[in-house]
Structure 1
Amino acid sequence: MVRNVLGAVIAAAGAAGALWSPFHGWYDGRRGRDYRVVELFTPSGISGHGSGLLSSLFLAFLGAAAVALAGIVLRSRLLVAGAGAVVPGFTILWMVRQGQVHGSLAVESDGTGLGLGVALALAGGVLLLLGAVVMRGRRGRGRHVRGYSQPSSPYGTAARDEPDVPGPDPGGTEVPDTGEPDERAHGPKPPSWQRTSDERW
């Protein structure tokens, strides 16, 4: 329980960082929300044109944050880890495409080059992956409880289904069949004054 709560907090912080990153500068002061997400997959690459909020990198990070939120609610480590892979994946892809335009990427002391938004996106992805590792996930319903084992035949069905075959006498001596009732099975023979009239004297 504690691990799930701690992992959820870490994953939520990572999702928040990823959502906040497009509103900061990514390269030369240009914010992440100014890059169209479709340009990452086109042959022409990144252009100098602006972009709307829901068609920019914010859309990819919004989807990742929604998946992470679903993973936190459902306590699914797989969903949180998937969101954690999407955020740095889009960030690294953007860096590759941006490097193709400028020839190289750098961080300058005057604030040009890679900006704070890239760092927030990468940190958010790392936090999402860390949250997935910390989370314990949902425990299976049919998990074996330690110290308890279910009996294979609770009512002795295995022994009851076996045919009742008479065996030898426990003492090792067989009793001859004389036609008289066995006193060990039916008790001692009643005295003569208790016999019924249909018995032979």
Structure 2
Amino acid sequence: MVRNAVGAVLAVVGAAAALLSPFRAWYDTRLGRQYRLSELFGSGGVSGAHPNLLWSLFLPFLVTAVLTLAGVLARSRALVALAGVLALGFTVLWMVRVGQANGGSLTLDADGSGLAQGVAGAAGGGLLLLLAAAVMSGRARRRPEPATGPYAGHDAPDSPDSPANAYGEPRSPASPYREPDTPTAPLAYDADGPGHQEGHRPPPRGWENPGERR
């Protein structure tokens, strides 16, 4: 819970820094929103044309802010990390394209010329988003609900895996036979019947009831 809160704060700060960076100077007092987005992917290189706001460097950082907001609300580390990669990726891509337009090099001068605060805001915002994704713990996983009832944590007596049989006696692990699950009443011999119960031997010949002797 605490890690998610700290990660959310870092993510919001990083997304805000990245979103505001196109409104600051990026190179030689030129604002980031004055760079055309299509020039980063085209073969013509970076030109001096000023594009519309939505087709400038503002668009990828707007997407970064939306991904960050969705990741914080959903407590998704993947979305926050994706936002950080997007911010850093477009910053590095811009540096490569502008470096090509300036003879293969970029400068950072003390008088404010060269790389400016907008680049630092975009790169720093991307790094903060990656740090936020590492700090966040993500969504908590659901634990299985504990079993309830008289046999919670144990097998029921009528289960084949139960350590006790229906009589409450422990099963023998070495016995290959399974004891009956329900008690059965013993069968009695019917002396007056025409036969005998199945599974019982008849009385031996010559046997008679002592009480019937006269």
Do Structure 1 and Structure 2 share a fold, with TM-score over 0.5?
yes
Q: Which runs of 4+ in 1 moved over 4 A?
A: 160-163, 177-180
Corresponding residue for 1:21? 21
Deviations 1:71-98 (A, max 9, x none): 0000000000000000010000000000
Check 1:178–1:35 CA distance in 2 against 1; reply closer, same or farther (3 A cut). closer
* Bigger relative contact order, structure 1 or 2 (CA pairs below 8 A, ≥6 apart): 1
Structure with more helix by fraction:
1
Matching residue of 2:7? 7
Alignment of 1:1-201 (within 5 A): 1-103=1-103, 104-142=105-143, 151=153, 153-154=155-156, 156-158=158-160, 159=162, 162-164=178-180, 179=189
Deviation at 1:110, TM superposition (A): 1.6
Superposed CA RMSD: 2.7
**Cα separation, 1, equivalents of 2:188 and 2:130:** 87
Change (3 A) 1:79 1:156: farther
Q: State the TM-score, normalizing by the size of structure 1.
A: 0.76
**Take 1:112 and 1:92, find their aligned partners in 2: how far apart are those partners?**
19
Structure 1 pair 68/157, CA: closer, same or farther in 2 (3 Å)?
A: same
**How many percent identity over aligned positions?**
50
* Structure 2: 5+ residue stretches without partners: 147-151, 167-177, 182-186, 191-210
Distance 1:101 1:178 in 2: 108
SS of 1:157 mapped into structure 2 = coil
The unaligned stretches of length 5 or more in structure 1 are 166-176, 181-199
**Aligned residue pair count:** 168
SS of 2:16's equivalent in the other structure is: helix
CA distance in 2, matches of 1:143, 1:13: 37
